[in-house]
Every structure is written in C-alpha cells, then in structure tokens.
Amino acid sequence: MASKPPAGDPVQDAPQVTAVQHAAAGLPGVVHGLRASQQQMGLGRTARTLLKVNQKDGFDCPGCAWPEGDKRHVAEFCENGAKAVAEEATLRRVTPSFFAGHPVSDLAGRSGYWLGQQGRITHPVYLPEGADRYEPVSWERAFEIIADELTALGSADEALFYTSGRTSNEAAFLLQLFAREFGTNNLPDCSNMCHESSGSALTETLGVGKGSVSLDDLHRADLIIVAGQNPGTNHPRMLSALEKAKAAGAKIISVNPLPEAGLERFKNPQTPKGLIKGAALTDLFLQIRIGGDQALFRLLNRLVLETDGAVDEEFVRTHTHGYEEFAAAARAADWDETLAATGLSRDEIERALRMVLDSRRTIVCWAMGLTQHKHSVPTIREVVNLLLLRGAIGRPGAGVCPVRGHSNVQGDRTMGIFERPTDAFLDALDKEFGITSPRHHGYDVVRSIQALRDGEAKVFFAMGGNFVGATPDTEVTEAAMRRARLTVHVSTKLNRSHAVTGTRALILPTLGRTDKDVQASGRQFVTVEDSMGLVHASRGNLPPAGPALLSEPAIVARMARAVLGAASSTPWEEFERDYATIRDRIARVVPGFEDFNARLAADPGGFALPHAPRDERRFPTATGKANFTAAPVEYPRVPEGRLLLQTLRSHDQYNTTVYGLDDRYRGIKGGRRVVLVHPEDARELGFADGAYADIVGEWTDGTERRAPGFRVVHYPTARGCAAAYYPETNVLVPLDATADVSNTPASKSVIVRLEQSPAD
C-alpha cells in the first residue's frame, strides 16, 4: 500500500522520485514561489504583498530569521519566503460555518496539509466540555473562560504559556510579563526544540547565547564552514551572502550527511547572470555520518594544536580559560575513532585542516543538524574550541553563526520568553512594574508535556505554533494534551493542535505579519530581531483576514485584564492602544533597547544589539573569560542492521505547515512518506528502490515506535544514515530522547530498523 492518508482526507500521498538536483533557486525557484502566491491570493495582491517583504517600510518576512542587507533588492524574498507570505495572505477563510460542518472528530482525521489549506481563521471559537464542534464565542466570553480556568488552578505553575517564534517583540514582552504577574515561569517555546543547544553552549563558553557575526562579517570571511544546515531550502537568502563571500575569495566547507542542492551550486535569482549560470558554492563537501561532528571538530582541534604557529597564543592567553584541560583532551583525539564516527577519510579531514590553517577569518554556521542530538551541546562547544584556538571570535569576518529558524525566535528570547530567566532580567522587570516575579525555573517544552501527562499542568495556552504537531513522541504528547482542562490557541491558520484538545478548548484568531494593525491610537507596527541581533520594525499592509481578528498584543492585554483584574497595576489598556508604550517599557527592562522608539524613528531599518564578545572581546561568563571545554567525545552507536534516522524538512513546508507535496531539489514529487537510504545499505537490508517499509524506532528502554508505509528511496546520504520528513516521523522520537543540558528533542538521531510494510 502506497499511501495512508488519514480517513476522509482527499490528499493522496503517493511519492514519485525524479533526479536529485544539484543547484538551488534560479528561475524555477522564482516561478514556484510566485505560483504558490497566485493560487492563494491572486495576481494584484501577490505583487502588492511581495514588494513589501523585508523592505524598510514593509513587513518582516514570516519565513526565516536570516537578516536583510542594508542595500535591499526590489524583491528581497525567496521562493520559500513567497510561499510563507502566500500561506498567510491567502484569501481562503475558515469561518464559524466551517466549524459547524467539520466537527473536531473530522478535523482529527485530516492531514496537516489539508488543515492548512483551508485558509485564515476569522472568528474566535469555543469547544465546550463534551462537545464535538467548535462554536462561535465572543472575545469577552473567551477571556472569561480563560480567567475562570486560570484562577481555579491550585498553583500558577499548573499553567503553560507556549510561544512559537513568529510572535513580535511587543507581544512576547507582554506575554512573559503576564505569565510572571500571574506567577509562573512556565514559558516553553519553540526554541526549546530548535537552537536551545546553541544557546546553552554559547552562553557557557562565550557568555552570550547568540551568534557573534553580522552579514558584513560573512561577506568578509575567508573560510565559512556550514555544518548541519540546508540553506537552499530553509534560509535561501543566505546563499546570496555565501555567493558574495565566495566572490571575494572565501572558501566554503559543507559538513552534511546529505549533498544539499543549495550548498552545491546556487543560481542567484536576483542577478541576471545568476539566473542562468549559477555559482558553485562548496569547495569541500564532508559527507559526515549523523552525529559525527563533535569527533570531527575534536580531531581538527588536535591537529591545530600540533601545528607550529597555528594557535593564536595571544588570544588564548588574554581572553580564555580552561586551555590546559581542553588541550589535554584534544591531544587524545584518535584518528581511527574519528574516521569511524564520521565516516570520512583521512584525506578529507586533512584537506579541511589545511583550509582551516589557511584562514584567518573563519565563520562556522550551523542549524538543526548540530542542535538536535543527545550530544549537541558538547558538539557546539567543540566548534567554539576551534574558533577560540584560532582567535576567531571578536575579529571582523570571523565568529559563530547559529542560523535561527523562526523569524523572531531570537527576539522572543531577548524579550524574556524563557523558562529559566536570569535574576538580572527579573530584577529589572520587577522594578519596572512593581511586581514580584517567581524565581524558580519553569517548564521547557519536554517538561511541559511530561507535566500535562502527569496531571501537573492543566491549562495550556499557545501564542502561535503547532505544539502537538511539532513536539516529539506524537502519541504520548497527544494523550498528554487531551488531559488538559483547557487548551487555548492563538492562531492564524488551522493545524493539528486545534484537533487535539483539552476538556475545553478555544481558538483565538489573530493578525499575521502581513496584516495591517490599527488600534485606538492609530496604525501600529511591531518589531523583530533577526538571527544576527538586528532589531527592526515590521508593518503589515493588507486588510486583515476579517474584522473580528485581534492582534497578539491585544489578546494578551485583554487576557491579562480578565485574569489579573484589579490586582494588576500594569496599564494593559494603554499597551493595547499604543504599542509604542510597550516599547518604552522594553527600553527600560531589556539591555540594548535604550531609547527604543527614538532609534526606530531615526532609522526604520533598525539597529544592532550589543554583543560583548563580538564588539569588545569581553566574555560575560562565570569565569569572565571565554571558556574552553573538554567533554568526552560522543557519537551514536548503531547496532547491526539498523540505521540512524534524521527527521528534516522538505523544500515544500514550513515546519508543520505543508505547502505542497514536492521536495524539488531532492527529486521527490507528490508525496512525503519517503525514507532516504544509501543504496548499499538499502540493498543489504533487502529494500529495493520503491519498496514500502515501516520505520520502527528502537529506544534504549526497549520500547518501539512505528511509522508505517514509507517509500524507500535510494539516495546518496552518508552510509548507515537515513532521512525522512518531520512532522510525519515525530512519532518515532521518544519524549525522553533529549540533548544533555539543553533538553532539546534528539530528532536528528533516532535508531531505526526498516520492516517490510504489511500491504506492500
């Protein structure tokens, strides 16, 4: 049996395989992007909308967090940005009559793709206890329901306030303020599943949990290592920066189990030459085994240590701590073990070493390929060790570049969306608002699911995102969510989380980035922070999806008034009226935002937040120096006959939002239930290309998890490895399989076996 779409879902999943592509973007990219837009919103609206993407007077692309350069192109977006915009600016609508026709039991049987295709939600709706249909509800009544449930809790810590990374700075600041006034630090966010490992490793070693480079640094680098990232699909505009760096003489090393099209060759759709010819980007492709990166960087560090003059001794002496212990560990790195862990050859590693030694300005970029493993934090620390050895932090053209996902995920954290806030942040908040914030830590995403499962959390509120769709161990998570007394989703579009509800549920429709936001004081804008710490304004220009929609800041402000009542002296009404008054408070609470409104008025293009290691080689760590670390080398051990599975994104999705069923660059069409396996491995396991298999996850506690009916695709991945799309394979990731320290689900290293599908 080829496909197993949920019952009643007309969308057929029947994957076909064509040739793998070796170049990204170019004309096909532009055409695909515009086609998606036109289907959803028609030609005039398409043009009006796309011309405003990432312009100084327009809105921030709701796609990725890649920064915009100072000199902007007329069309500062990419194919996937266009899809993200079309998805939000669509003319399709989900109205109360839609809910009358589709009970929750029906929605629960639909695919995420189908749900997303229904359009923008127009009215607040409520699912009463025991009912199977969402019904229209007034905003007043919706907030009363939330207030009733929240005030009935035995402790504020029985409530969870989740944030996905599209939320603006203003809304995020209000949400964390509300949660803390209410009495909890339970502020899990998508970052917990994303770059938390980067934040953990960088905070400990450099003192700031963010990247240390600007776009300009990328352009000036002479070596860029891109490890565990697929920019051709997920950060297409990054390819322009890589192209520019190359034109100025930089070399690029890609470290990836898959040969990703964009990294091989890039056809820049914004230059006439690029449209046709394209530039080869990667100079050295290290086709690493999944999870082999720590071993690779450890050995490179040993080899640097052994090369005369290769260590920047002045930097090490002046700015670092822990060198001796680290050097002892690095010197013990073993060639044979590294070759086994990485699957690379000695020659490849020596070539990488020569490129590192030839470089003064080295940048390492990474994303989920490094952050979603058990040993992600020590892996990223090892990357930092290399840069510290070479003095490549706080030098122009050099540094760390964790490439963020959601367009404001970094800003949300800056605004205090964090279950483990620092005392300094809470002190400032308390002083500004005259409140007493709770000081004990709250729950992150995985702990939130455990708390719901164990009955310790009872109300779940989500500011965007698709919690049950994005989190691991789908069956466990959905059962946990169903135990909640109340689930509330502030959403633009339908998704799986609206069909997996607590005893009672609310869907609160909200404005997106592209929508015009008018409040009592006039037209509003919001602000966001990109992956490189640049803060700028975002202004929607389209009429909202319906008159009943409220903005995210308005929803939080009204909820706060309903829940906290007279007990709160925070001017929630004023915040809703005029977002500039929120920014005035942010300016007084969050370092780096002084004179926030004035600086935005002076330059709507925005300003850069301070970054001590980058700006002044100052390292606000526990030791006051940049810390070398010396963790034991780890890599996944895969038993005979098993594969190491990574769960990743296709070219046609935005996280749990599926735009379409094609993964153009990888040559997959018309379906998503595919598992990519090296031809030799597939043959040894007895699976021809085109055979159907169940993927069975094996976890250390002896439990198994099954994802049925995947088409096996013979694909040039690293030996012993496999790849399949998320969220379909989340069911295979055990809730307990998380990264040490950061607690991020280890969704890039799942041990699996393939079993013949019963109906094949």
Ligand X SMILES: Nc1nc2c(c(=O)[nH]1)N[C@H]1C(S)=C(S)[C@@H](COP(=O)(O)OP(=O)(O)OC[C@H]3O[C@@H](n4cnc5c(=O)[nH]c(N)nc54)[C@H](O)[C@@H]3O)O[C@H]1N2
Q: Which of residues 371-400 bind ligand X (CB under 6 A)?
A: 372
- Residue of 203, 160, 213 lying closest to 184 (CA atoms): 160
Q: Give Cα separations from 165 to 408, 655, 680 (angstroms).
A: 5, 11, 40
Using the minimum distance from each CB to ligand X, give the nearer residue, 184 or 646: 646
CA 703 distance to own-chain centroid: 28
Q: Which of residues 174-203 bind ligand X (CB under 6 A)?
A: 190, 193-194
**Entry field: residues in the chain:** 760
Q: 228 contacts which partner out of Mo ion, ligand X, none, CB within 5 to 8 A by kind?
A: ligand X
φ, ψ of residue 17 in degrees (nearest 5):
-120, 130
Contacts of 140 (CB under 8 A, 6+ apart): none
Q: 362 contacts which partner out of Mo ion, ligand X, none, CB within 5 to 8 A by kind?
A: none
Our finding on whether 194 is near Mo ion (CB under 5 A) is yes
Among 107, 179, 208, 288, binds ligand X (CB under 6 A): 288
Our finding on whether 403 is near Mo ion (CB under 5 A) is no
Among 90, 294, 747, 757, binds ligand X (CB under 6 A): 747
DSSP state of 288: P
Cα 586 to Cα 573: distance, rounded to the nearest angstrom: 17
Cα 713 to Cα 722: distance, rounded to the nearest angstrom: 10
The count of residues interacting with Mo ion (CB under 5 A) is 2
φ, ψ of residue 313 in degrees (nearest 5):
-65, -35
Strands 279-280 and 265-267: antiparallel
Q: 329 contacts which partner out of ligand X, Mo ion, none, CB within 5 to 8 A by kind?
A: none
Rg (CA), the chain: 25
Among 470, 542, 633, 643, binds ligand X (CB under 6 A): 470
Cα 511 to Cα 121: distance, rounded to the nearest angstrom: 10
Cβ atoms of residues 239 and 67 within 8 Å: no
Q: CB count, 10 Å around CB of 336?
A: 8
User: Over the range 132-158, which residues count as b (16 or more CB within 10 Å of their CB) and which as e?
Assistant: ebbebbebeebbebbbebbeebeebbb
Beta bridge partners of 157: none
Cα 300 to Cα 382: distance, rounded to the nearest angstrom: 10
Contacts of 112 (CB under 8 A, 6+ apart): 466, 469, 495, 496, 656, 657, 658, 727
Q: 177 contacts which partner out of ligand X, Mo ion, none, CB within 5 to 8 A by kind?
A: none
Using the minimum distance from each CB to ligand X, give the nearer residue, 459 or 645: 645
Q: How far apart are the first and last CA of the chain?
A: 5
Using the minimum distance from each CB to ligand X, give the nearer residue, 372 or 629: 372
Using the minimum distance from each CB to Mo ion, give the nearer residue, 194 or 695: 194
Among 733, 735, 746, 751, binds ligand X (CB under 6 A): 733
Using the minimum distance from each CB to ligand X, give the nearer residue, 220 or 539: 539
Q: 240 contacts which partner out of ligand X, Mo ion, none, CB within 5 to 8 A by kind?
A: none
Rounded least distance, CB 620 to ligand X, Å = 26
Task: Mark the segment that binds Mo ion (CB under 5 A) among 252-260, 351-359, 399-407, 471-479.
Answer: 399-407
Tokens of 590: 């969050």
User: Over the range 634-660, which residues count as b (16 or more CB within 10 Å of their CB) and which as e?
Assistant: bbbebeeebbbbbbbbbbbbbbbbbbb
**Binding mask of the shown chain, residues 693 to 732, with x at each position contacting ligand X by CB under 6 A:** ---------------------------------x--xx--
Task: Mark the segment that binds Mo ion (CB under 5 A) among 192-200, 216-224, 416-424, 445-453.
Answer: 192-200
Using the minimum distance from each CB to ligand X, give the nearer residue, 287 or 627: 287
Rounded least distance, CB 405 to Mo ion, Å = 3
Among 405, 606, 671, 745, binds Mo ion (CB under 5 A): 405
Q: Which of residues 109-148 bind ligand X (CB under 6 A)?
A: none
Our finding on whether 654 is near ligand X (CB under 6 A) is yes
Cα 374 to Cα 636: distance, rounded to the nearest angstrom: 9
Question: What residue has token string 């339908």?
Answer: 494
Cα 369 to Cα 749: distance, rounded to the nearest angstrom: 9
Task: Mark the segment that binds ligand X (CB under 6 A) among 229-237, 276-284, 518-526, 560-568.
Answer: 229-237
Using the minimum distance from each CB to ligand X, give the nearer residue, 229 or 629: 229
Q: Which of residues 341-370 bind ligand X (CB under 6 A)?
A: 367-369
Is residue 727 reached through a cis peptide bond, with omega within 30 degrees of 0 on the bond before it? yes
Order of strands across the sheet that contains 607-608: 526-529, 534-538, 607-608
Torsion angle (degrees, nearest 10) of CA 286, 290, 292, 294:
110
Among 362, 474, 514, 657, binds ligand X (CB under 6 A): 657
Our finding on whether 370 is near Mo ion (CB under 5 A) is no
Q: 648 contacts which partner out of ligand X, Mo ion, none, CB within 5 to 8 A by kind?
A: ligand X
Our finding on whether 417 is near Mo ion (CB under 5 A) is no
Using the minimum distance from each CB to Mo ion, give the nearer residue, 159 or 470: 470
Using the minimum distance from each CB to ligand X, give the nearer residue, 60 or 158: 60
Rounded least distance, CB 713 to ligand X, Å = 14
Helix and strand counts by DSSP (H, E) for the chain: 32, 33
Among 647, 738, 743, 757, binds ligand X (CB under 6 A): 647
Our finding on whether 491 is near ligand X (CB under 6 A) is yes
Among 25, 64, 451, 693, binds ligand X (CB under 6 A): 64
Cα 207 to Cα 189: distance, rounded to the nearest angstrom: 21
Q: 255 contacts which partner out of Mo ion, ligand X, none, CB within 5 to 8 A by kind?
A: ligand X
Using the minimum distance from each CB to ligand X, give the nearer residue, 181 or 264: 264
Rounded least distance, CB 202 to ligand X, Å = 16
Please give the residue ranges that form the binding site for Mo ion (CB under 5 A): 194, 405
Please give the residue ranges that form the binding site for ligand X (CB under 6 A): 63-64, 80, 164, 166, 190, 193-194, 227-230, 233-235, 255-258, 260, 288, 290-291, 293, 367-369, 372, 405-406, 463-467, 470, 490-493, 495, 510, 512-513, 552, 646-649, 653-657, 726, 729-730, 733, 747-748
